[in-house]
Amino acid sequence: MFCEVTTLDNGISVISERIDTVRSVAIGVWFAVGSRDESAAESGMSHFLEHMMFKGTDTRSAADISQAFDGLGAELNAFTSKEYTCYYSRVIDRHLPTAIELLSDMVSNSLLADDACASEREVVIEEIARMEDTPDDRIHERFAKALWPGHPLGASILGSRESVSTFGNGSTAAFKDSHYTTGNCVVAAAGNVEHSQLVELIGKHLTLRSGSRTVRDSGFQSSPEPLSVLTRDTEQSHICYGVTALNAQHEDRFALSVADTIFGRGMSSRLFMEIREKLGLAYAVYSFVSLFQDTGQFAVYAGTRPSNTEQVVATIRNEIDRLCDSGVTAEELDRAKKAMTGSLVLGLESTPNRMTRLGKGLITNAELLSIDELVDRIESVTQADVIRVARESFSGPRSLAVIGPYAQDDIAHLIG
C-alpha cells in the first residue's frame, strides 16, 4: 500500500506516506467535527474552537506558540469545514519531533481562558462581517442554506453574531471535551517521515480524552427551497443555481467530477465559453461540486450586472438542459480527463496536499486510493456515465440563490 496506517491503543489513528526525495514533512492533527455537528446554539463553535487552540496552553502563551514555530522555520495553520477540523504544520524533517510536541500541546492543553474567549469572539465577529461584505463568498452560504434548510449543513461555518457572542470558557471547553477525543482524532503526515517514529511521537505527546468515533445521524433528509434572495445594493448580481448531489462515497463520484469539469471548470468549459467568451455576461462563472458523508451539491456560480441576471440564469439552465439531453463529446471527455489527471498529479507533488488527502480520507472513512488508482478511476469514466450522472443530478428540485438589488418577487419567475 502507498501509505501506512496504525491505530494506537487509545484509539488515535495515524497515517503517513513517506516521500524520501524531499526534506520536509507536512503533518496534520484532524478531528471528526465540523459545523454540521453543531446545534443551533453552538453554530460556529467548531471554527471558534479552532481559533482558541492558538491562544495559549498551560506552559505556552499565544506568542510562545507563534515564536516556537517561527523558530523552526515552519508553517502553522488550521481550518474548519462542515465535517472536520485540521491543525497542520509543514516543517523541515529534523524538526518534526518538536513540531509534533508543539501541535500536541496546542490541541491537548489549550487554556480556553475567559479573557481569550472574549477577545476572540470579537475577532470572529469581524470575520463574519468581512464575509457579509464579500457577496461572492456570502452567496455560497446563502445557497447552502436554501439547499439544506433547517439542517446544520446549511448553516455558516463561521456561525452568527448571535451564537458566537455567547461563547465562553464553559461552552467551549464542553464542546472540546465532547469532540476532541481519541476516537475522533487522525494524525496524518507526508514527506520524509518514518511511520514508526511518527507513531512513537504521537503516542508520547498527544493526550486526549478517551472516546470512540462520533456517529452522525444517517438517512439525510432535507427539502430544498427553490428561491433565496438577499436584497443588497450591489454593483453585481451574485448567483448560485444548482441541486443536491450524491455523497462522497458514491461510486459515481468520479463521473460527477468529470461532468463538473466539462460543464464549468476552467477556461475551456461550456459555461466559461458560453457566458464569458461568447456572450460577455460575466467575469467569473464556474460550476462546483461539494460532497459530504450523506449528500452533496452540484451548482453554478456567476457574477453579473443586475440587468444581465435573467439572461445569465436562462443560459445556465439552457446549458444544464444541453448537458442532460445531448451529453458530451469524445473530445470533451478526453480533455476533461487529461485536465483532471494533470491537476491531480501536479497537486500531489506538494507534501501538504498529500497530507490533506490522507487525513481527509481517514477522517471521513473514505476509500484510500493511490495516485495510479485515482487516475484509473478517472480514465474509466465514459460518455454514458457523464450523461447518466448529469440527468440523475438535475432530475431533483433546483435551488436559486441571488444577492443583488432585487426583491424576492422580482426574480421568482427565473426558477422555472
Element (H, E) at 345: helix 330-347
Cα–Cα distance, 131 to 50 (Å, whole number): 18
| Marked catalytic residue, from 38, 50, 83, 225 | 50
For the sheet containing 227-231, what is the strand order? Answer: 227-231, 399-404, 237-245, 296-304, 285-291
Residue 268 buriedness (CB in 10 A; 0-12 / 13-18 / 19+): middle
C-alpha cell read off for 29: 492533527
Sequence-ordered alpha helix ranges (H) in 133-267: 135-147, 161-164, 169-179, 195-205, 253-264
Nearest Cα residue to 333 out of 298, 390, 381: 381
Sign of the CA dihedral running 377, 378, 384, 386 = positive
CB 180 within 8 A of CB 31: yes
Place of cell 478517472: 378
C-alpha cell read off for 380: 474509466
Q: Assess whether 127 carries a catalytic annotation.
A: no
The three-state secondary structure class of 160 is: coil
Active site residues: 50
